[in-house]
C-alpha cells in the first residue's frame, strides 16, 4: 500500500478498513491528538494493574455505563 510509505494519502475506505481491523473509532484518525478517556472503573478492571487497558475493555465499560444511565433514569 503506497499510503503506508507516505507517497499518497489513504482513501476514506482504507481508513475505515484500518479502523475496523484495529478496533479504533473512525473519527480518531482525523484528530490532531488522541482523546483522553476518563473511565473511573478502568482503574479497578485491568489485568496486573496495567495503566493502559485494551480498546475492547474500554468500549465494554463505556457501553455498560451508558446502559446503566439509561436504566436508572
Same domain, residue pair 42 and 58? yes
What is the span of the domain harbouring residue 57? Answer: 36-73
Q: What is the pLDDT of residues 4-17, one digit of tens each?
A: 677 778 889 989 99
Q: Residue 59: which of 23, 27, 21, 26 has the closest Cα?
A: 23
Q: Flag whether the pTM goes above 0.75.
A: no
Q: How many domains does the chain contain in total? A: 2
At residue 27's C-alpha, the angle toward residues 36 and 13, to 5°, is 150
Q: Where does residue 69 rank: exposed (0-12), middle (13-18), buried (19+ CB within 10 A)?
A: exposed
Low-confidence ranges of the chain (pLDDT < 50): none
Place of cell 457501553: 63
pLDDT at 54: 74
Same domain, residue pair 19 and 5? yes
Amino acid at each position: 500500500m503506497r499510503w503506508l510509505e507516505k507517497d499518497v494519502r489513504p482513501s476514506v475506505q482504507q481508513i475505515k478498513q484500518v479502523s475496523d481491523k484495529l478496533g479504533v473509532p473512525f473519527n480518531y484518525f482525523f484528530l490532531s491528538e488522541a482523546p483522553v478517556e476518563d473511565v473511573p472503573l478502568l482503574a479497578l478492571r485491568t489485568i496486573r494493574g496495567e495503566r493502559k487497558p485494551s480498546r475492547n475493555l474500554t468500549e465494554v465499560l463505556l457501553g455498560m455505563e451508558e446502559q446503566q444511565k439509561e436504566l436508572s433514569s
